[in-house]
Structure 1
Amino acid sequence: MRFRAFLSYSHADAAWARWLLRRLETYRVPSRLVGAHAGNGTIDRRLGTFFRDREELPTAGDLGSTIREALADSATLIVICSPAAAQSRWVNAEVQAFQDSGRGDRVLCFVVDGEPGSADPARQCFPPALLQPAPDGNTREPLAADARREGDGRERAFLKLVAGLLGVGYDALAQREAQRRQRKWAVVTAASIAGMAIAMALAVTAWVARNDAQRRQAQAEDILGFMLGDLRKKLDTVGRLDLMRSVDDKATAYFATLDPRDLTDRALEEQARSLTGIGQVRLNEGKHDPAMAAFREAHARSTTLHQRAPDNGQRLFDLAQAEYWIGFVALEQGRYDESGVWFRKYRDSGIRLAAMDRANFDWQREVAYGHQTLAVLDERRGRYPEAERAVREELALYQVWTAQRPHDNALRFEATNVLSWLGTLSARQGKLADAEAFFSEQLAGMQRNVAAEPANAKWQDLRVNALYLLVEAQAQRGRRSEALTNILAATTSADTLARQDPANNLWQTPPAICRWWQAQLIAPSDSAAAVQIADEAAAILTRARAAEPENERVLRWLVMARNLQAQLALSTGDSRASRTHAAEALALLEPAWKKSPNEVLRLVLANNRIVAGEGAQAAGDVAAARADWRQAEQLLTADARDALPFERLDPLVRTLLLLDRATEAQPHQQRLTAAGYVPLRPFPAAGRIAAQ
C-alpha cells in the first residue's frame, strides 16, 4: 500500500501528531531485523510513508474522497487517543470507515490523555467506534500504547507502536534497540582509538552537529509549545501575571535568536500565538499601547501565514484572534468606530472558519463570539434593542451547546456571560424583573463552576462580577437587604483575589466596585460608615487609574466614586467637601467625554452635574446650582430617538424636581414606577429653590 499508516487525531492533539509523525518518519529499523519476515510482512529499513490528514487535506479538492482513498491505501490506522479524540466525530468516522474495510485488527491506539475505560465520558479517551461489540457480542477495550507519564511513557509507548507496525514483539524490538545503541558506542570508541582520518572525523562531526542542532531545535519548539500552551493556561488559572510575563519574555528572547532562515511557518505560528499572549498579559496589566503593539504584530504574522495557505483553518483562526484583540483594545480606549471595523472583520472571519469544518465545535463558537462583540459595541453606543436581538440569538446557540456538554465548565461560563449581557440590556430598557432573573441565572452558573473547580481563580473573579450585577438589579427593585448580603459576599472574594496578585489590574477594580455599592446601600442608615467605605473605593480606583490611565471603565468608576463622595458629604452637611469632590470628578471626566462621548459617560456626567448643583445649593449659590442642573437636563434629553432610554429617567426626574418642574417630571416618574423601580436615594421634593 502507499502508506504504512493513517494518523487519525483531534485538532486539539496536533502537537502530539506532529511529534509522532516526525519520530515515525525518521525511525530506522535495527539492522538485524531488516529483511526478516514478521507478522506484517518483510521488514524494511524504514517504516515508510504516513498520512496525516490535517496536514494534507487542505490541498485536496474532494475532502471525502481524499480521506477514503488514504484510508484504503493505508496498511494500518494509528489513532491518537484522548478525550478530545473520543468526542471528535471526525476521528470516530475515520475509525469506523477503516473498520468497515475489514481491517479492524490493524487499528493501533496511542493514548496521550484521558483514562482508558473510564466511566466518565469527559475522561474516556477511546472513540466510540473502538468500543463497539465484537462479532461474538463482547465489548473489548482496544490494546494501546500508553504515552502518558503514569502509563508507558512517551519513549516506551513509541517503541510499542513501532512493534505493532512491524508485527514483532516489543521485547525483541527493545532488545534490538539496546544492542544497536551498544554497537554504536563500540564503533565510536573503536574509531577514536584507531585515530580516524581528519576528513572522516570532520564529516562525522558535521553530521553529529547537524543532528544535535535539529534535536535542540525540536526540543526548543516542544518547550516553547508547553510554555505558551499548558503552562500559560495553568498560570492564567491562578492569575499569576508576573510569571506569565516571564514566560512571554523568555519566548520573545528565543524568537530574537532565530536566523531569518529558521523562520519556518511553524516558527511564525508560534510567534503569532506568543505575541497574542503577550498582548493579553500587557492588557491585564493596564498597558494598552504595548498590548496593541503586540496584537498588531501578531496580526501581521497571522496575515502572512493565512495568505500562504488560505484553506488552512488553524491559520484563519489565529488571524481572527488577532482581529478580535485589536478591536477590544480600541473598545477599551473608547475608539468605537475603529473597534467596529475590527469586530466586523473578526465576525466575518468566524463565519468563514465555521464553514470550513462543521464538526469543529471550537470553530462554530467563533460565530457566537463575533455576534457578541458587535452586541457589546451596540450596548456601549446605547443601541439596546439591537444589542438584545443579537444576544438572544447567541443564547439560543448556547442553550443547545450546554445541553450537549453539561460538564464543560468553560462553555457554561460563556453561556452565563450571555445571560449577563441580557440582564444588562434588560435593565437598560427598564425590564427590571427580567434583569434580576438573568443575573440570578448567571450567578447560579458561576456558582457551579466555582464548586467544580474551587482552585480556579478565574471562576472566583467572574462570580464576584455576577454578584455585583445582581446587586444592582436588586437595589433598583428596592431589595436592599438581599443586595447588601450579596455585596458583602462579593467584597470578601474580591479582596482575596486582589491580594493574591497585585499586578493584575483587572482584579484591583472589583473591590472598589463592591465598596461603592456597600456605601450606597448603607448610606441611609449609617452615613459615617458610608463615607469611610466610599473613601476606600476612591483610593483603590485612583491607584487602578494610575496603572491604567486609558481604561474607560476604571475612569468611569473613579468618577462615580467621586460623585458618591460628594453626595455623602452633603448628607453630613459638608458642602465644601461636596463641591471639591464634584469638581475633581468633572476634571477627570471632561477630557474623556470630549474625546469619545457615549451613553455610559453621559449618565456619569449628568449625575456629576446633579450632585454639583446640590452642593452649590447647599452653599447658597442658587445660580450655580441652576446652571449645573440645566446642563444635566441637556445631557439627559439630547440624542434621544423615539423615547428616552430608561436609565436616563432617574437622573432626569431628579433634575426636573430640583428645577421645580414637577409636572414635566411626572410622566418619567410614572415610567419608573410602572417598571417597579425604587430609587437608591429618595427623589427631592419639588419647590425647594422657590422656598429659598
Structure 2
Amino acid sequence: MPNDRNFKYKAFISYSHKDRIWSEWLHKKLENYHLPKALRKKRIEEGKDVGRLRPIFRDREELPAHENMTAKILEAVRSAEYLIVVCSPNSVASAMVNEEIREFRKLNGNTNILCLITEGEPGVFNSHSNLTLTEAEAIPENACFPAALFETAEFHKDLPTAASNPLAADARAEGDGKRNAYLKIAAGMLGVNLGELVRRDFVKRQRQISMALAVSVGISAAMGWLAWTAIKEGRRAEQQQMEAEEFADYFADILVDELPKTGREDLIQGVVDRLLSYYDGLDIKSADALYRKGLAFTRIAHILDSYDQYQDYRRIQQQAIDIAEKLVSKHPKNTDYLFLKAQSNGSMALAITWKGEPEQAVRYSQIEKEILHRLLEIDPKNQDWLRTLGVSYTVSGLAHLQNSENIKAAESDYRKALEIRLAASKLPDAHNWALNHLGAAYVNMSVVHSVKGPISKMVSYAKQSRDTFESNSEHDPNSVNAHFVTARSERNLGHAERFAGDLAAALEMYEASAKHLEDLLMERPNNSLWKHTLNLVVIAYAETLITDGRYEAAARLIDKYSASIASFYTGTDVKNYHIAAYYHANYLKALFAYDRGDANSAIRMLDDILANLDQDRSANILKAARISNVYSSAYLTYGQILAEQGQTASANTIWREAIEIFDQNLGAKRMDIKANVAQIFLMLEEYEKAQQIIDTLERDGYREVAYVRAVDREIRSGGISAPLGWRSPVSVVGK
C-alpha cells in the first residue's frame, strides 16, 4: 500500500445495520485503546506515532443500493487507512457492505483489510477465492464472509487480480472471544505481534474467565483461584506479579464493559468487592501498575455511582485520587499521571455536585482545571485534555448554579466551557465530540439565561445548540447519538420559545423532538434514557397544548404515555427527574379533571402531589428545577381551585405556604418559577411584591402565555401597573 497518503480516518468500519451493536462496541474499544507503556516507548524510539487508533469512521445505517451511497460515505471509505468488516450472515446479505469492500479494494488492493467474525461459519473462508460472482452470491446462509472480499478483476475490472486473504479475528465464544478479537484487530492495525499484547497463557485464562462470566456463578471462584496461584506465599516472581496485575486490569474491563448489561446489581456488587479485595492483595511496586490501578478504581467508582451506591463510590474514587496524588508527587512531569489526577478529581466533582455538595464539588473541579491548564501548555491541541477541561468547567458551572449567590460564577464557567469547545470544534482534526460538546455548552448557556435573563439570549443559545447538533447529524447522518442530542436540543428550544411567548414555535419544536425520539425507539425500544426523554417532551408538549386551549389533545397525549411515565417512578433506580416527570403528569391530569368540571378529583390529585413532595423536602429535593416548577405550579393551581370553590381561607393558607418555600433565594430560580410566585402574590393581593417580580420578568423578556394572560387581567383590573413596554396578549385562547 502506498505510504505517502494522508488518511483522514484510521479505519472505516463496514457492517450491516443488523450488526450495529457489534460495530458500536468495536468502535468504542478501538478509539479508546492505549498501547502498553513499553510498546508506546518502543514505537516512539522507532519514530512512529504513539499507537492511537482514531479517528474511526462508522457508517451506522445501511443504504439499499450503490446509487444511493452518499459522496460523504464513499469519501470516508477512500480516506481510511484500514477497512474493518464486521462479518456475519447479515453482512454477507448486505449490498452495502459488499459495495464498501469493493470501493476499498479498488484503491488499496487486498492490503489493510481486517475482519471481525461475530456470527456464522468461517470455515468457508478459503473456498471463495475461485468462485464466480454467481456462485459467490449463492454462499450458504451460515457463511460470514461477504463475497466482495474474494471477487477479482475477472468480474470487476478495478479489483485486484487475486482474491483477498484478510486477517480475521473471531469474537465468538468458541473463537478468540471478544477481548482477544479486538486486540487482534488492534495488533493488525498497529503492525505488532499479538503475542506482544497478550501472552499465550493469559489468553487461555481470559477464555476461562469469559466462560465463567457467561454462567455468572463462577466469577468469584475464578478470581479466588487466580489470586491464590498468582500471589501465593513464596511465588511472587516478577512474571507472576505482572500476570496478576494484567488479570486485575482485564477483570476491571469486564466489570465496566460487560457486567452492567446483565442488570444484576447483586452480581456487580459481588464482583466489585472481590476485585477490590484482589487489588488489596497485589504487591504493586511499579508506577505503571499503580497507574493502571488508579484508572481501574476510577472506572469501578463510575459503576458504583451509576447504581447510586454513593458511599462506596466516594470511598473508591478517593482511593483513585490518592493513587494519582502519589504518582504525581514522584513523577510531576508525567502527563499520564497528571491526567489521571485531573480525571479522578473531576469525577468526584461531578458525583458530589448531584448529591448537593456544590462547595466541595467546586474545590475538586478547581484541582482538575489547574492540572488541565498545565497539560494544555504542553500540548494545546490535545483533544482528550480539551474535552475534559470543557467538561470540568461545565461541572463547576453546574455546582455554582445550585447556589443562589453564585449565578455569575456559573455563567462565567459555562462561558469558558463554551469558549473551549468552540476552539476545539475548529481544530483541523476535531472529532464529533467537539461539536457535541459545543452543542451542550450552548444548552448550558441557555439554562443560565432561563434564570438570569434575558430570554432573548436563552432563545438564541437554544437555537445555536439545535443548529450545532443538527450540523453534527448531517455530518454523521446515521448516528443514533447525534439524533438523540438533536431531539434534546429541540426540546430545550421548545422551552425557550415557550418562555418567549411563541406557542406555535414551541409546539413545533416539541413535535419535532417527539418524532426524533419515537423514531429512535423504533430501533431500540428498551433504551431507558430515550424513553424518559420522550416522556419529558410529551409532558411539555401537553402543557403547551393546554395553554393553547387544546385540553382534549393534551389529555390523549398524557394518557398514551402515562404508563411509561409511571414505570420510571415505580422503578428500582428512581431519580429526582423521574419524580418530577411523574408528578408533572399528575398535575396535568388534575387540570384535565378540573376542565371536565370535576373539581373534587382535581383537588384530591393536587393534594396528593403536594403531600408526596412534602415528604422529600428534607432531602433538598427542591434543588431540582423541574420539581420546583411542578411544586410551585401545583400550589398556585390548588389555591385557585379552592378560591373558585369559595374556600378562600384554605386557598390563602396554601399560597402562603408556597411563599415560605419559594420566596427564598428567588433570584436563583428559573423564570417560570418566579412567574408562579408573582401570580401567588397577586392572588394574595400583595401587589407590591408581585409588581417587583413582574417588572423584572418583563425587563428580561419572559412572556409565557398563561402568565402574561394572568398579569394582563390584573393590570386591567387596576391591581398593578403595567410594566414598562408591556404588551397585552393579542388574543385569549383557552382557559
1:260 and 2:285 correspond: no
List per-residue Cα deviations over 1:572-629 (Å, max 9, x = no partner): 2222222222222223333443333548355543323212212322443211101112
1:613 and 2:632 correspond: no
1:639 and 2:699 correspond: no
What residue in structure 1 maps to residue 679 of structure 2?
A: 654
Query: Does the 8 Å contact 1:320/1:349 carry over to 2?
Result: yes
* CA distance in 1: counterparts of 2:275 and 2:669, whole angstroms: 56
* CA distance in 2: counterparts of 1:547 and 1:496, whole angstroms: 24
Q: Could you say what secondary structure the match of 1:569 adopts?
A: helix
Matches within 5 A, 1:144-293: 154=187, 157-158=191-192, 220=247, 232=257, 242=263, 260-261=281-282, 263=284, 265-284=287-306, 288=310, 291-292=313-314
1:412 and 2:435 correspond: yes
Query: Does the 8 Å contact 1:333/1:551 carry over to 2?
Result: no
List per-residue Cα deviations over 1:158-193 (Å, max 9, x = no partner): 589x9xxxxxxxxxxxxxxxxxxxxxxxxxxxxxxx
What residue in structure 1 maps to residue 614 of structure 2?
A: 590
* CA distance in 2: counterparts of 1:435 and 1:620, whole angstroms: 40
Query: Does the 8 Å contact 2:255/2:300 carry over to 1?
Result: no
Query: Does the 8 Å contact 1:391/1:421 carry over to 2?
Result: yes
* CA distance in 2: counterparts of 1:492 and 1:269, whole angstroms: 46
Query: Does the 8 Å contact 1:420/1:442 carry over to 2?
Result: yes
1:387 and 2:377 correspond: no
Shift in Å, 1:418 = 0.7
Letter in structure 2 aligned against 1:473: A
Letter in structure 2 aligned against 1:683: A
Gaps of 5+ in 1: 1-9, 22-49, 54-73, 87-117, 126-144, 163-208
1:683 and 2:704 correspond: no
List per-residue Cα deviations over 1:237-266 (Å, max 9, x = no partner): xx9685999999878866765683464554
Query: Does the 8 Å contact 2:55/2:431 carry over to 1?
Result: no
Q: Could you say what secondary structure the match of 1:404 adopts?
A: coil
Q: Could you say what secondary structure the match of 1:311 adopts?
A: coil
Q: Could you say what secondary structure the match of 2:614 adopts?
A: helix
Shift in Å, 1:344 = 3.2
* CA distance in 2: counterparts of 1:409 and 1:248, whole angstroms: 34
More contact order relative to length (CA 8 Å, sep ≥ 6): 1
RMSD (CA atoms): 4.8
Shift in Å, 1:482 = 2.7
1:451 to 474, 477, 481: 474
1:474 and 2:474 correspond: no
Shift in Å, 1:210 = 8.6
Name the CA shift for 1:438/1:85 in 2 (closer, same or farther; >3 Å). Answer: closer
1:16 to 35, 42, 55: 35
1:551 and 2:575 correspond: yes
Query: Does the 8 Å contact 2:513/2:537 carry over to 1?
Result: yes
Q: Give the structure with higher Rg (CA).
A: 1
Query: Does the 8 Å contact 2:383/2:424 carry over to 1?
Result: no
Query: What is the aligned-residue identity percentage?
Result: 14
List per-residue Cα deviations over 1:98-130 (Å, max 9, x = no partner): xxxxxxxxxxxxxxxxxxxx99998579xxxxx
Name the CA shift for 1:638/1:13 in 2 (closer, same or farther; >3 Å). Answer: closer
Name the CA shift for 1:250/1:124 in 2 (closer, same or farther; >3 Å). Answer: farther
Name the CA shift for 1:211/1:665 in 2 (closer, same or farther; >3 Å). Answer: closer
* CA distance in 2: counterparts of 1:644 and 1:159, whole angstroms: 59
* CA distance in 2: counterparts of 1:496 and 1:406, whole angstroms: 31
Matches within 5 A, 1:55-74: none
What residue in structure 2 maps to residue 344 of structure 1?
A: 366
Letter in structure 2 aligned against 1:577: S
Matches within 5 A, 1:457-496: 457-495=480-518
List per-residue Cα deviations over 1:523-565 (Å, max 9, x = no partner): 2433234234345666544432444666333333334333333
1:315 to 333, 337, 345: 337
* CA distance in 1: counterparts of 2:507 and 2:561, whole angstroms: 16
1:576 and 2:600 correspond: yes
Letter in structure 2 aligned against 1:475: R
Shift in Å, 1:323 = 2.3
Shift in Å, 1:416 = 0.8
1:329 and 2:356 correspond: no
Query: Does the 8 Å contact 2:376/2:385 carry over to 1?
Result: yes
* CA distance in 2: counterparts of 1:311 and 1:528, whole angstroms: 65
Moved more, 405-414 or 551-560: 551-560
* CA distance in 1: counterparts of 2:553 and 2:344, whole angstroms: 46
1:623 and 2:668 correspond: no
* CA distance in 1: counterparts of 2:299 and 2:428, whole angstroms: 27
* CA distance in 2: counterparts of 1:620 and 1:594, whole angstroms: 33
Gaps of 5+ in 2: 1-9, 11-29, 57-74, 83-110, 116-165, 169-183, 197-235, 720-735
What residue in structure 2 maps to residue 45 of structure 1?
A: none
Query: Does the 8 Å contact 1:280/1:291 carry over to 2?
Result: yes
Letter in structure 1 aligned against 2:461: F
Aligned length: 529
Shift in Å, 1:225 = 8.6
Query: Does the 8 Å contact 1:354/1:367 carry over to 2?
Result: no
Name the CA shift for 1:297/1:509 in 2 (closer, same or farther; >3 Å). Answer: farther
Name the CA shift for 1:656/1:80 in 2 (closer, same or farther; >3 Å). Answer: closer
Name the CA shift for 1:402/1:622 in 2 (closer, same or farther; >3 Å). Answer: same
* CA distance in 1: counterparts of 2:525 and 2:273, whole angstroms: 24
Letter in structure 2 aligned against 1:658: M
Letter in structure 2 aligned against 1:386: A
Q: TM-score, structure 1 length as denominator?
A: 0.63
Name the CA shift for 1:380/1:664 in 2 (closer, same or farther; >3 Å). Answer: closer
Q: TM-score, structure 2 length as denominator?
A: 0.60
* CA distance in 1: counterparts of 2:673 and 2:299, whole angstroms: 39
Shift in Å, 1:422 = 1.0
Name the CA shift for 1:666/1:572 in 2 (closer, same or farther; >3 Å). Answer: farther
* CA distance in 2: counterparts of 1:504 and 1:249, whole angstroms: 26
Shift in Å, 1:657 = 3.0
Name the CA shift for 1:447/1:279 in 2 (closer, same or farther; >3 Å). Answer: farther
Query: Does the 8 Å contact 2:43/2:49 carry over to 1?
Result: no
Query: Does the 8 Å contact 1:251/1:274 carry over to 2?
Result: no
Moved more, 609-618 or 289-298: 289-298
Shift in Å, 1:515 = 1.5
Shift in Å, 1:415 = 0.8
* CA distance in 1: counterparts of 2:576 and 2:401, whole angstroms: 15
Shift in Å, 1:403 = 1.5
Name the CA shift for 1:454/1:304 in 2 (closer, same or farther; >3 Å). Answer: farther
List per-residue Cα deviations over 1:341-362 (Å, max 9, x = no partner): 4333433443444455545342
Name the CA shift for 1:280/1:578 in 2 (closer, same or farther; >3 Å). Answer: farther
List per-residue Cα deviations over 1:641-663 (Å, max 9, x = no partner): 7x997444421332233234557
Shift in Å, 1:302 = 3.9
Shift in Å, 1:220 = 5.0
Name the CA shift for 1:355/1:599 in 2 (closer, same or farther; >3 Å). Answer: same
Query: Does the 8 Å contact 1:269/1:302 carry over to 2?
Result: yes
Letter in structure 1 aligned against 2:568: A
Shift in Å, 1:277 = 3.2
Query: Does the 8 Å contact 1:285/1:547 carry over to 2?
Result: no
